[in-house]
Structure 1
Amino acid sequence: MRVLAAMSGGVDSAVAAALAVDAGHDVTGVHLALSPDRQTLRSGARGCCSVEDAHDARRVADELGIPFYVWDLAERFTEDVVDDFVAEYAAGRTPNPCLRCNEKIKFSAVLDRARALGFDAVVTGHHARLADGELRRSVDAAKDQSYVLGVLTAEQLAAAVFPLGGMTKDRVREIAAERGFAVATKADSHDICFIPDGDTRGFLARRLGEQPGPVVDAATGATVGEHAGAYGFTVGQRRGLGVTAGDSRPRYVLGIEPVTRTVTIGTADLAGVGRIVTAAPTWTGAPPELPFRAEVQLRAHGVPVLCEVTGNDADGLQILLDEQQRGVAAGQSAVLYEPDPERGDRVLGQAAIRSTGDRAATTGPGPSA
């Protein structure tokens, strides 16, 4: 099989490419240049896709004896990931840029180009498994990335190869060390790649400017503080609220209203939600017949919770949680998994969260998160 190995310059993609070569595939490596100013996209272990990373990827390709190219997708990345990220925060939502990058860049732009060039599949270093065409969790629960791949369609998954899903991250590093790859001990990149200093609020402030507004207490309706921009907050946030409560109980962000620029806060007893309303879903295979039982994961490293899924999937889903959850924000992805204990690692699909509310209110969109 003729495959294109997406090589970020990290240890995971290096080992994935090596395993594809070992499997007898005709492998070509490609590094994605995602920023016009790539020198700014790494700060220690933060960020990725810098010139340094391109050099690391090229060295691995040379050691494997495979062709290697750099593809400039900076304009597409800016439009589909960075601009989308800013727009979502401006609208009071909390996006996941890694999920959007997988959807729009790695398994849309790259896959489309790969197919046009005659490649059969794209190999990546994601920690997830494909079994009989079904997307499943990695065996390494701590490194599992099935959540950010839940947006992929069956057609995209049919042209994807994830060689690392059946092993732990420790084993990945062992393989890299055995092969003498310099990236064997390279730190994992984390946080948002296009915000290498980790200051999301500062990044958004530079893009959106100051947009002052009130911080309101949900219980009393009183204004208890001011902020410089609602985009600097996300639902469920506890620290950095900039207010002093009248008692010792911690406060959490309960809601963000972008038009009035109001950030609503409240105590933990007000922070849980039992019902989620989503946009139209995408499915990794045949759509399940509604209603159905599932496990839903609401954050990249969140704990799945059992739920009942109803609604009209053309318009969106209604997800009724068995247990209330905190920190559920509009814009996040609700990724659904098979609830059967023997198959609970199978990803069914995902949908973007539009709003949240009380489980008792089972009709209508409910209050926005």
Structure 2
Amino acid sequence: MRVLAAMSGGVDSAVAAARAVEAGHDVVGVHLALNRMPGTLRTGSRGCCTIEDSNDAWRACDRLGIPFYVWDFSERFKADVVDDFVAEYAAGRTPNPCMRCNERIKFAALLEKALALGFDAVCTGHYAKILRDADGNPELHRAADWAKDQSYVLGVLTGEQLEHCLFPLADTPSKAEVRAEAERRGLSVAKKPDSHDICFISDGDTRGWLAERIGMQPGDILDETGAKVGEHGGANAFTVGQRKGLRLGRPAPDGRPRFVLEVRPKDNTVVVGPERLLAVGEIRGIRVSWAGRPPAEATRTEGTAFGAEFPCHVQVRAHGDALPARARLERGAGGEGASDDVLVVTLETPLRGVAPGQTLVLYQGTRVLGQATIDTARSLERESA
């Protein structure tokens, strides 16, 4: 099988490529140039996609004896990830750029180009697993090492994309084993620290970065009753659930901390309140997609009640817990398969700090069912107050 190995410059992608070679595949390595300032070097373990990472990817491919290329996807990355990130914050939502990158760059633009060039699959160092159902359809599942599991950020993949994905680290019991294997193979990235934070904000100052790109103006901070309790320098820099950086001039009556409950970009207002009002019982998601065959309740099949609730677990953060819930699909005005379908998730236990713009991913057992972008999250206590 002809395999294109996406080489980030980290230890996971290097070992994944090595395993693909060892499995007998015809492997070619490619590093995606996403940063428009390639001279920018990593600071500690922040960021990725730098010239340092490109060099590390090249050294890994040289060690493995496979061809290496750099593909410039910076224009696509800016339009589909960076500009989307800015637009979402400008609209008062909290986006997940890693989800958008996986969806639109690594498993859309990259996979599309790979297939056009005659490759059979794209190999990455993600910790996730692809299994087949009784009819041979691909399913996305959690990796063996749940502590490193990355199935959440891959929840945007479709069944068609899963047909052409290869995740060699799926059954690896720990990251320590990956590093030990890299050292045995003589890969120079064996001890390289993991990258974290948003790759295109290398210093980690998201608020400062956004302030340069969004016309932020000072405004009011209100409590849950509508009373002014402070001022802010720009509502777009806040996110639901935030506690730090509020700098309120008026303490809560009970003396307890306040949290951001709502961001209103239209009137440049931030609403804060007690922690208990962050708990939501229902989440509504848009831009729904299924990671393989959708649940029967989400398809129009004979003998199945479309729109009926089905049991699942829902996860709204990459490293968050998956909580028991029930979900149902509301058909949009565009009809079956329309992009305006709405996924309604009812939680068995309230979940705190759910922000519009985040991604919800549904699971049944270890299997990823699909995902949606959170449009609204209902706090039942706040609504009844």
- The TM-score, its normalising length taken from structure 1, stands at 0.94
Alignment RMSD: 1.5
CA drift at 1:40: 2.5
Equivalent of 2:211, from 205, 209, 229? 205
Q: Residue type of the partner of 2:207?
A: R
Helix, strand or coil at the partner of 2:211: helix
Q: Residue type of the partner of 2:374?
A: I
Whole-angstrom CA distance in 1 between matches of 2:371 and 2:139: 14
- The worse-fitting range, judged by mean Cα deviation, of 39-48 and 316-325 is 39-48
Tell whether 2:362 aligns with 1:355.
no
Equivalent of 1:311, from 324, 329, 339? 329
Whole-angstrom CA distance in 2 between matches of 1:270 and 1:54: 46
Partner of 2:302: none
Partner of 1:193: 199
Whole-angstrom CA distance in 1 between matches of 2:235 and 2:103: 27
1:272-311 equivalences in 2 (<5 Å):
272-288=279-295, 289=297, 290-311=308-329
Conserved 8 A contact 2:278-2:379: no
1:120-199 equivalences in 2 (<5 Å):
120-132=120-132, 133-167=138-172, 168-199=174-205
> Cα deviation per residue 1:121-140 (whole Å; 9 max; x = unaligned)?
00000111111221111122
Conserved 8 A contact 1:128-1:138: yes
Whole-angstrom CA distance in 1 between matches of 2:247 and 2:131: 48
1:206-285 equivalences in 2 (<5 Å):
206-218=212-224, 220-244=225-249, 245-246=251-252, 247-285=254-292
CA drift at 1:359: 5.3
Helix, strand or coil at the partner of 1:183: coil
CA drift at 1:7: 0.1
Whole-angstrom CA distance in 1 between matches of 2:105 and 2:83: 14
Tell whether 2:338 aligns with 1:320.
no
Whole-angstrom CA distance in 2 between matches of 1:174 and 1:216: 53
- The TM-score, its normalising length taken from structure 2, stands at 0.90
After superposition, the Cα gap between the structure-2 partners of 1:15 and 1:184, relative to the gap in structure 1 and judged at 3 Å, is: same
Whole-angstrom CA distance in 2 between matches of 1:286 and 1:128: 17
Q: Residue type of the partner of 2:106?
A: K
Whole-angstrom CA distance in 1 between matches of 2:40 and 2:60: 23
After superposition, the Cα gap between the structure-2 partners of 1:316 and 1:305, relative to the gap in structure 1 and judged at 3 Å, is: same
Following TM superposition, where does structure 1 have runs of at least 4 consecutive aligned residues deviating by more than 6 angstroms?
Answer: none
> Cα deviation per residue 1:157-198 (whole Å; 9 max; x = unaligned)?
110001112111111101101111110000000000000101
Conserved 8 A contact 2:216-2:235: no
Gaps (5+ residues) in structure 2? 133-137, 298-307, 333-340
Whole-angstrom CA distance in 1 between matches of 2:286 and 2:380: 18
Conserved 8 A contact 2:63-2:186: no
Percent identity of equivalent pairs: 60
CA drift at 1:313: 4.7
Gaps (5+ residues) in structure 1? 339-343
Paired positions, count: 357
Q: Residue type of the partner of 2:273?
A: G
Conserved 8 A contact 1:281-1:313: no
Helix, strand or coil at the partner of 2:318: coil
Q: Residue type of the partner of 1:170?
A: A
Conserved 8 A contact 1:7-1:57: yes
Whole-angstrom CA distance in 1 between matches of 2:287 and 2:76: 24
CA drift at 1:212: 1.6
Partner of 1:112: 112
Helix, strand or coil at the partner of 1:331: coil
Whole-angstrom CA distance in 1 between matches of 2:358 and 2:315: 10
Q: Residue type of the partner of 1:297?
A: Q
Helix, strand or coil at the partner of 2:39: helix
Partner of 1:341: none
